[in-house]
Chain A
Amino acid sequence: MGLQKGMSLTDARAIAPDLLVMDHDAQAFHKKLIAMVDWCRRFTPLAALDAPDGVMLDITGVTHLFGGVPALMRDIETRLARLGITGITAVAATPEAAWALARFSKTKIAPDDAKALQRLLSPLPAAALRLDETTCAALARSGLKQIGDIHMRPRAPIAARFGDALFARLDAMLGLAKSPISPRFEAPTYMAERRFADGIALRPQIEETIAALAKDLCTMLERHGEGARRLCATLFRVDGAVRHIHAGTSRPVRDVKSIARLFHERFEAAGKTRDEDPLDIGYGFDVIRLAVTAADALDPTQNVLQQTDTQARDAQERAARMSDLIDRLGARLGTSRVLHFHEADDHWPEHAVVARAAARGRPKAFSSVAQAVPERPLRLFERPEPVEAIASVPDGPPIRFRWRRLMHEVSAFEGPERIAPQWWKQEASALTRDYFRIEDTQGTRFWLFREGLYASETARPKWYVHGLFA
């Protein structure tokens, strides 16, 4: 119709009066473009965002999978068209040349021969060099309208006037200098995928596919003596949406069953947030890919030779089952919910022990220092609960106290154990605590403390229940 990029709206309206006009939402467009990059990873693992309007694919060594370069380009364009996107593809030996061909040339596939490539690029406008607008305008003013005009002239004067970037770009385009493609995700070391003529839309089928892919991966991993630490399943939906599902393990894993079960739990966990359709399957997935994004050495374990040493073998097997269990629980509940207790170098009761994800390794045995502290309660309240306590003397133990609306008579006590705040860490507002172990007439044992030293720190010390003993 003659509509062009950069045209004023009035001119465009004059040509097409029923033109639908909308504001350009740069952010949404960028988001969509990133989704497109992920979608393009179905063709090659090395897909890079080429802002503002392009996607750069490194198709080295993948074209034969799609029946050659022209077939691949057709495939991409028809698939894009099905998603309602008009796409233009171009293939060249260098990213810069491909960029220029896609936007400024009628020939979309660059020849391999360097001379022929130069001939092809020469008539393209200087804008094909992807320079900023001021440089382009300056070039046009000097009569350097085409790439050929620049290329055939002596370099030094042009470089002196327009900057080095011009020739850096030109050299990269012609393959004289190398420029890398920085993909959005690194190519995984191990990867397996299945393609389907039609989208598969059933959970069991998807899980079976994951298991089959895991089998392929495990063969590869075994050949290299490695095990997976982090896995990523990528599900390409028919309508272009791409979903990544990650799973981590606490030890290198090379077991098909463990990997399949891990993803089963991840899918279950995904189901909790979206009730009716956990994976958001829609019309189904037509490409499912499983990749190992991090791997560690995993030497084949030698099963204990002597049959007599059954105990050692049992322990070994149990440890393996335990870490599998930790992974599975972590996959469903979140790794921060499956914990080990670690000793911390801190005497303040709340901070003396930290709970860390069990997937990050087993804790060391508690030091003698930690074990030498006076008895600590089995249950500790997140926040100390205030109580009303009556003591015979202001800095003495309580005689009775009211906790959760019930009066408790103290029948035995031990203390105080004075715990001072860490003046080098906390603000000055933290007060010294005097802890008492207290037993009431029912036999319930409390860990009470009085906050603040009488007279020197506070005039009215407050009492709290911090924990309960068995």
Chain B
Amino acid sequence: MSAHGSSDRIRFLRETLAGLEQAGGSLASPASLSQTPFGREGAPCALDRALGGLFSGALYEAAPARMGDHAAASGFAFGVGARLAAKTQAPLIFISDEFSTRETGAPYGLGLAAHGLDLTRLVYVRSTGAQDLLWALEESLRAKAAACVVADLGSAARAFDLVAARRITMAARMSGTSAVLLHPPASFNRPMAQNGARMRFEIRSARSAEPHNHRRPVPDQAHFGVRFAKPGIEAGKMRGLDTQNFKTLIWDHEHGHFRDTLSLALSATPAAGAQRTVA
């Protein structure tokens, strides 16, 4: 076969694949896919307006912006997981590589509970090695048992190639279980082919809100700077979407949803004003 013939065939396969993907995956059952907003019901946040919420059976990727932002990225991933699990009360599975958690810290039960997760419905899988992690991830997705699987790839990120990504995407789509993959730091801008992930987020920890009344600043809870891009599409080419700037997002651990900083500022201002009049 000539080189020309083979490239034709590859193009044909690519087009077929793209067609299937556009159809929402005719290989799967798209009827079971549902949608959950990032924010509270009826109070969409900036990400909802941009992305239309979170989808079940989708693959999301999150990468910390800097070395120290890994905890923030996992906080975001757990938030996404909790959002997806909230409606159905389905379990959440967290998979991490044992070796990598020595570097990034192991998930801490009390911290997870404080983050608003229901520990009676959380399963923590410690894998050793990339192959086991990817296997456990795929198996967890296929089982149709959980609402979301959060996987901290760690050193397994190198083994997460296009083939693995395709398998994970298919498993997620078939079962309706979403997956959030935590990548190593600073991998957001690495060029990557379209791997089937619905969206890729870059997370960095954001400064807490400035205190009012000249109080001493106190670390606030779970503030993130978030920006997003779709893998395979060049930054800046997404129509009408800002993929360059970080938007600040807050995880409300008490009520289990994300919200914008803006709404906090709005709600805080009258309260501050009221206090001032009393004083």
Q: Using a CB–CB distance below 8 Å, which chain A residues touch chain B?
A: 314-315, 318, 321-322, 324-326, 328-329, 332-333, 337-343, 349, 352-353, 355, 358, 362-366, 370-371, 373, 375-382, 404, 406, 411-414, 437-439, 441-445, 467-470
- Verify B78–A378 contact, CB threshold 8 A: yes
- Verify A325–B145 contact, CB threshold 8 A: yes
- Verify A337–B125 contact, CB threshold 8 A: yes
With A353-B110, A355-B109, A355-B124 known as contacts, the answer to whether A443 contacts B143 (CB < 8 A) is no
B249 to chain A, nearest CB (A): 11
Task: Kindly state whether residue B119 has any CB partner on chain A within 8 Å.
Answer: yes
Q: A-B pairs with CB below 8 Å: how many?
A: 196
- Verify B205–A442 contact, CB threshold 8 A: yes
With A412-B217, A438-B219, A445-B219 known as contacts, the answer to whether A380 contacts B106 (CB < 8 A) is yes
B154 to chain A, nearest CB (A): 12
A412 to B208, CA, bound (A): 9
Q: Tell me if A's interface is mostly helix, strand, loop or mixed.
A: mixed
Q: List 23 A-B contacts (CB under 8 A).
A: A325-B140, A325-B145, A341-B109, A364-B120, A375-B221, A376-B108, A376-B110, A376-B111, A377-B111, A379-B70, A381-B105, A381-B106, A382-B102, A411-B207, A414-B218, A437-B218, A442-B207, A443-B72, A444-B69, A445-B205, A445-B219, A470-B72, A470-B76
- List the A side residues contacting B71 at CB < 8 Å: 377-379, 444-445, 467-470
Q: Which of B62-110 contact A (CB under 8 A)?
A: 66-72, 74-76, 78, 88-91, 98, 101-102, 104-110
B89 to chain A, nearest CB (A): 7
B103 to chain A, nearest CB (A): 9
Interface segment, one of B6-14, B38-46, B131-139, B185-193:
B131-139
A-facing mask of B198-219, CB < 8 A → 1, else 0?
0000001111100000001111
Task: Kindly state whether residue B113 has any CB partner on chain A within 8 Å.
Answer: yes
- List the B side residues contacting A339 at CB < 8 Å: 123-126
- List the B side residues contacting A352 at CB < 8 Å: 109-110
Task: Kindly state whether residue B146 has any CB partner on chain A within 8 Å.
Answer: yes
A265 to chain B, nearest CB (A): 9
- Verify A370–B110 contact, CB threshold 8 A: yes
- List the B side residues contacting A340 at CB < 8 Å: 119-120, 122-124
A382 to chain B, nearest CB (A): 6
- Verify B139–A469 contact, CB threshold 8 A: no
Q: Give B207's nearest chain A residue, CB to CB.
A: A443
| Contacts A341-B119, A375-B114 supplied; 20 other A-B pairs, CB < 8 Å | A318-B91, A318-B144, A321-B144, A321-B145, A328-B143, A332-B135, A340-B120, A341-B112, A371-B113, A376-B108, A378-B112, A382-B102, A382-B105, A443-B205, A443-B207, A444-B71, A468-B68, A468-B71, A470-B72, A470-B74
- List the A side residues contacting B118 at CB < 8 Å: 365
- List the A side residues contacting B140 at CB < 8 Å: 325, 329
A278 to B113, CA, bound (A): 41
- Verify A379–B68 contact, CB threshold 8 A: no
- List the A side residues contacting B144 at CB < 8 Å: 318, 321
A411 to B218, CA, bound (A): 8
A322 to B218, CA, bound (A): 41
Q: Give B66's nearest chain A residue, CB to CB.
A: A442
- List the B side residues contacting A325 at CB < 8 Å: 139-140, 143, 145-146
- Verify B115–A470 contact, CB threshold 8 A: yes
- Verify A414–B125 contact, CB threshold 8 A: no
With A332-B132, A337-B127, A412-B217 known as contacts, the answer to whether A469 contacts B222 (CB < 8 A) is yes
Question: How many residues of B are in contact with the other chain, CB < 8 A?
Answer: 65
Task: Kindly state whether residue B223 has any CB partner on chain A within 8 Å.
Answer: yes
With A377-B71, A470-B75 known as contacts, the answer to whether A324 contacts B143 (CB < 8 A) is yes
- List the A side residues contacting B228 at CB < 8 Å: none
B177 to chain A, nearest CB (A): 10
A343 to chain B, nearest CB (A): 8
- Verify A443–B107 contact, CB threshold 8 A: no
Task: Kindly state whether residue B251 has any CB partner on chain A within 8 Å.
Answer: yes
A326 to B139, CA, bound (A): 10
- List the A side residues contacting B89 at CB < 8 Å: 315
Partner of B251 from A314, A376, A470 at Cβ < 8 Å: A470
- List the A side residues contacting B78 at CB < 8 Å: 378, 470
- Verify A322–B119 contact, CB threshold 8 A: no
A150 to B143, CA, bound (A): 71
Partner of A379 from B98, B105, B124, B135 at Cβ < 8 Å: B105
A333 to B124, CA, bound (A): 12
- Verify A376–B219 contact, CB threshold 8 A: no
A322 to B147, CA, bound (A): 11
With A382-B102, A468-B68 known as contacts, the answer to whether A366 contacts B145 (CB < 8 A) is no
- List the A side residues contacting B110 at CB < 8 Å: 349, 352-353, 370, 373, 376
A373 to B111, CA, bound (A): 10
A59 to B223, CA, bound (A): 72
- Verify B123–A358 contact, CB threshold 8 A: yes
- Verify A378–B108 contact, CB threshold 8 A: yes
- Verify B119–A366 contact, CB threshold 8 A: yes
Interface centre among A328, A379, A381, A404 (most CB of B within 10 A): A379
- List the B side residues contacting A413 at CB < 8 Å: 218-219
- Verify A365–B145 contact, CB threshold 8 A: no
Q: Give A371's nearest chain B residue, CB to CB.
A: B113
Q: Give B132's nearest chain A residue, CB to CB.
A: A333
- Verify B102–A329 contact, CB threshold 8 A: no
Q: Give A470's nearest chain B residue, CB to CB.
A: B75
B215 to chain A, nearest CB (A): 10
With A340-B124, A341-B119 known as contacts, the answer to whether A321 contacts B143 (CB < 8 A) is yes
- List the A side residues contacting B70 at CB < 8 Å: 379, 468
